[in-house]
Structure 1
Amino acid sequence: MSMQADEDFDEEELELYEHYKFVIDKGQTPTRIDKFLTDKIAFATRNKIQQAIDAGAIQVNGESIKGSYKVKPLDDIRVLMGKPPRDTEVVPEDIPLDIVYEDEHLLVVNKPAGMVVHPAHGNWTGTLVNALVFYFQNLPEMKGNEGRPGLVHRIDKDTSGLLVIAKSEETMTHLASQFFRHTIERTYLALVWGEMEEDEGTVVGNVGRSAKNRKIMDVFPDGSQGKHAVTHWKVLDRLRYVSLIQCNLETGRTHQIRAHMKYLGHPLFNDATYGGDKIRKGTQFSKYKTFVHNAFNLLPRQALHAKSLGFIHPVTKEKLYFEAPLPEDFQTVLDKWENYVHFE
């Protein structure tokens, strides 16, 4: 049997971190998984193991299991947790950064879609943090956020746009406080399926992990689960089968915009995780289907961009505001929708 400690904060990005991996020997006798893991993991108790199983944080051969499951030969067991292991060493990498603003206390970067924000299981290199560590050599870390120097917030791998990075502990503390008090101004642009009934509105609904699929978030409007979440939205352009909207976050929950838009029945265009990678509105004509699939190919990700970021400078107390234009893939697809609905 082999054992290794592996690992895998975007308020928008959901993840579990892999702490242990066990590949079971061929001669293993059937043993209840809670007993097996209690014996193998230091300081683990059967109660804690059972809680982890109930939360879907222990997987066998890529699937969640029940507490009565018995370990069999060749089983691949992964133990996942909500926080990363604390022995993470970030390797500096010379990766270009799109720096929008920089002074001695902080910087603002425009992250391209496809770039992971920090090293994690399956993405040890090529991340924004790898680039930041190379650029600065030394950056502060928040408690409970080890291995993510300078990060105060995050955005998904496939979401483009603005992030503020702290250069000092003082800056990090002040920025974290602004995020906690929801005084940070953040505007996102999203292309969603369908036309909104109103010109603007607000979604209020707790966002929490789905019981059916631990990789996605559900909305609980009755407040029975999850965390309080508020998204204000406004229609910028109606394109018959899709709409360009602006979203302002009052809170910053994991996958908040993506989950709230799905809850409204308007998932983000090409958001595979929340059902936006299929034709949700429109005709059955082959020409239309071809057009949409071509748009999917041009924008192979959810159509979400962190357009603006405003906050009070932690040291100078000056109000700072930044904007990032739509990236080429998003702008190209938006232009094509404009042409399709107005000129076809």
Structure 2
Amino acid sequence: METHCNLDAFNILYQDEILVAIHKPAGLLVHRSPIDKHETQFAVQMTRDAINKPVFPIHRLDKPTSGLLLFALNADAARHLSNQFMTHSIEKTYLALCRGWTPENGNIDKPLKYQKDKIVDKDKRAEEIFQDAFTHYERLATTQIEHKMGRFDFQRYSLVKLQPSTGRKHQLRRHLNHISHPIIGDVQHGDRNHNHFFNDWLGYHRLYLAATTLKFTHPTTGEQITLTAPLESSFKQTLDKLWSNDTLNKLLE
């Protein structure tokens, strides 16, 4: 299933003399990839064209993940911010819609097998390497829907806040699947029956995972910066079907 990309959801969230942050729509690649040769739009290119300046990617979001993406506008700032990511001093927050009712909160401390990039790592030995991976989660809300699936007449779902302190490939998607609460819309690590249910019910072909907040130290001023991104309309409209507006507004404040 290919995630539909709504390019209208692309916008600039923050900009100063050395930083720019955007909202990346679900389905948009961060940069050109040999694996997705058919793609013609990329977050790097769109941001550069929007501000008429070269941009330096600091981190990545998976293609199907929407939300906050940060760029530097010069090499020195890029190195400074990249170091903050490498030392895990940047605080990242995501929202996810998951199958089942998760525990109220917890920590997932599970090393993940290194996943080779088919292009970048093609010459590396295929030895098994496990990397430390740590995710804190907090359940924000639960709901259930009357819909028969297998032996169950009702289906349960949780809205979860995720804060990874490491940045492994597909970490959040793999960690949620590990605790048996996969993210809805996750083709690789999720539950296809629940994915199909949401696709058929609402018609949004997307992963329900969004990067919503970044907290970091500004490379030149030393100021603590907190950036936030609103949920993409397809994500928000799905939550509106599951919870009342009053409940959502309190949760997403």
Which digits, 9 at most, give the CA deviation of each residue in 1:37-96, with x for residues without a partner? xxxxxxxxxxxxxxxxxxxxxxxxxxxxxxxxxxxxxxxxxxxxxxxxxxxxxxxxxx99
Which residue number in structure 2 is paired with residue 305 of structure 1?
210
- Please tell me whether the aligned partners of residues 96 and 131 of structure 1 are also in contact (alpha carbons under 8 angstroms): no
TM-score with structure 1 length normalisation? Answer: 0.58
Structure 2 partner of 1:49: none
1:1-344 paired onto structure 2 within 5 Å:
97-121=10-34, 122-135=37-50, 139=54, 149-196=55-102, 198-209=103-114, 225-240=129-144, 241-279=156-194, 292-295=198-201, 297-338=202-243
Shift of 1:133: 3.4
| Alignment check: 8 A CA contact 1:207 1:229 kept | yes
Change (3 A) 1:151 1:114: same
Q: Quickly say closer, same or farther: Cα 1:191–1:231, change in 2 above 3 A.
A: same
Aligned CA RMSD, in angstroms, stands at 2.5
Query: 2: distance between equivalents of 1:133 and 1:210?
Result: 30
Superposed CA deviations along residues 5-56 of structure 1, whole A, max 9, x for unmatched, are: xxxxxxxxxxxxxxxxxxxxxxxxxxxxxxxxxxxxxxxxxxxxxxxxxxxx
Distance 2:207 2:50 in 1: 29
Cα pair distance change 1:96/1:328, threshold 3 Å: closer
In structure 2, do the counterparts of structure 1 residues 136 and 232 end up closer, same or farther at CA, with 3 Å as the change threshold?
same
SS of equivalent to 1:332: helix
Q: C-alpha separation between the residues in 2 aligned to 1:132 and 1:235?
A: 33
Deviation at 1:314, TM superposition (A): 0.2
Structure 1 residue 191: Cα displacement = 0.3
Structure 1 CA distance, aligned partners of 2:104 and 2:13?
31
Q: Say if 1:96 and 1:159 are closer, same or farther in 2 by CA, change over 3 A.
A: closer
Q: Which runs of 5+ in 1 are unaligned?
A: 1-94, 140-148, 215-223, 281-288, 340-344
8 Å contact from structure 1 (residues 206, 225) kept in 2: no
Aligned positions, number: 215
**Paired residues of 2:9 and 2:24 also in contact (CA < 8 A):** no
Q: CA separation in 2, counterparts of 1:97 and 1:336?
A: 24
> What amino acid sits opposite 1:172 in the alignment?
A
More strand by share: 2
Taking CA–CA contacts closer than 8 Å with sequence separation of 6 or more, which of the two structures ends up with the larger relative contact order?
2
Identify unmatched segments of 5+ residues in structure 2.
1-7, 119-127, 145-155, 245-253
Letter in 1 for 2:107: T
